[in-house]
Amino acid sequence: MMTTADPRVVAYLQRLEEAASGLRAERRAELVAEIRDHISSRLADLGPPAAGEDPVERTLARLGEPEEIVAAAADDAGTEVAPERGFHPSPRTGPGGMEAAALVLLLLGGFVAGIGWIAGVVLLWMSARFTVAEKLLATLVWPFGLAAPVFFGGLIAVSGGPGCPTTVPSAGQSVGQCSAAAANPLGIALLVASILAPIVVAAVLWVRASRRAAKG
Amino acid sequence: MVPEPRTALPQLRRGVLEFCVLALLGDEERYAYDIVEELGAMDGLVTSEGTIYPLLSRLRRDELVATRWRESEQGPPRRYYRLTATGTRSLATFAEDWARFRDSVDQLVNPRGTP
């Protein structure tokens, strides 16, 4: 637009852009676009300059320093969740990404050479959204998560002797030749329970953290 | 060195300005420049007009105002702001709070009723 091509306007918007580098990209773009629109609207309103008047300078002076505008934007971000603004809910309604990552790694991280599970434990204990009891429970059921029962289930199946499937037999499958633990209904039940246990623990922790987040 | 006398104006502005924006919207739909223009013209309310834009976007995120884009005769489409139900309620609450607050402060600061 013609009116915003003035070098002082260009320099002003440049300063604004730089000052806003700490804001999220979309907020920065929006802010710069709004200020640019404002300048062109104001200059259009003021019309051609009369003698001794400088509409550009006046417009920019009334806008304030770019850093001041950005400070107001950053301020807002900081006060968004301030408790005294009681009339709207906090935008944060669920547990955060760290809690989600911790629970997923606890369940599945064991498959990544065990390291993933250890990372999950670290995240779990770093999180402020779980109680100590919950952290203990999630660490002990089970070390290495789902990898543990799957691994031991596989071992049992293999040790069942030749002809036994190396995977866990499903309910409808004939397991007649297998005489070891894998074929034993009690063994299967234990195996299924040991697979379900960490899933249930993770689900319970997620729900409890969510409820806590919704209240606070 | 003599310390500077204090002024409450920056804090007052900070606490009150967003409600002035809500009040300005009333039951009208307005675009940002128009809002900034009117607030900027009032004595003592705004020192830097540019700071109203972040304020408007916060009100939008907090769902006290809603916006929509409308074509304009001159130039690009403009974003128009209007109050939401929450915005209207917040404004009504503020109007009551403000009346009580102002009366109490007046009783202490201007006991004779004139400044």
Q: Do B50 and A42 touch (CB under 8 A)?
A: no
- Cα separation, A68 vs B39, in Å, equals 17
Q: Is residue A89 part of a domain?
A: no
Q: Do B93 and A73 touch (CB under 8 A)?
A: no
Give the domain ranges of chain B.
9-108
Q: Are residues A208 and A110 in the same domain?
A: yes
Q: Is residue A87 part of a domain?
A: no
Global confidence as pTM: 0.56
Q: Is residue A153 part of a domain?
A: yes
Reported ipTM: the value is 0.87
* Pair A36, A63: CB distance under 8 Å: no
- In the structure encoding, which two tokens stand for residue B100, read together? 């009580």
Q: Is residue A60 part of a domain?
A: yes
Q: What is the pLDDT of residues A96-125, one digit of tens each?
A: 888 888 888 888 888 887 888 888 888 888
Chain A residue closest in CA terms to B91: A87
Q: Do B32 and A34 touch (CB under 8 A)?
A: yes
Q: Are residues A193 and A131 in the same domain?
A: yes
Work out the minimum CA distance from B8 to partner chain A, whole angstroms.
18
Q: What is the pLDDT of residues B73-104, one digit of tens each?
A: 777 788 999 999 999 999 999 999 999 999 99
Q: What is the pLDDT of residues A185-211, one digit of tens each?
A: 887 788 888 888 889 999 988 888 887
Q: Which of A88, A90, A92 to mutate to test the interface with B (most CBs of B within 10 A)?
A: A88
Q: Are residues A141 and A205 in the same domain?
A: yes
Using a CB-CB distance cutoff of 8 angstroms, which residues of chain B are in contact with residue A22? none
Q: Is residue A137 part of a domain?
A: yes
Q: Tokens 């550009």 identify what position?
A: A56
Q: Is residue A13 part of a domain?
A: yes
Task: Tell me the one-letter amino acid at A208.
Answer: R
Q: Are residues A120 and A205 in the same domain?
A: yes
Q: ∠ at Cα A69 (A63, A70), nearest 5°?
A: 155
Q: How many CB contacts within 8 angstroms connect chain A with chain B?
A: 76
Asked if B47 has any chain A CB less than 8 Å from its own CB, the reply is yes
Q: Is residue A142 part of a domain?
A: yes
Q: Is residue A84 part of a domain?
A: no
Identify the domain containing residue A24 by its residue range: 2-79
Q: Which of A76, A81, A84, A92 to mutate to test the interface with B (most CBs of B within 10 A)?
A: A76
Q: Are residues A106 and A55 in the same domain?
A: no
The CATH number of the structural domain formed by B9-108 is 1.10.10.10
Using a CB-CB distance cutoff of 8 angstroms, which residues of chain B are in contact with residue A60? none
Q: Are residues A167 and A101 in the same domain?
A: yes
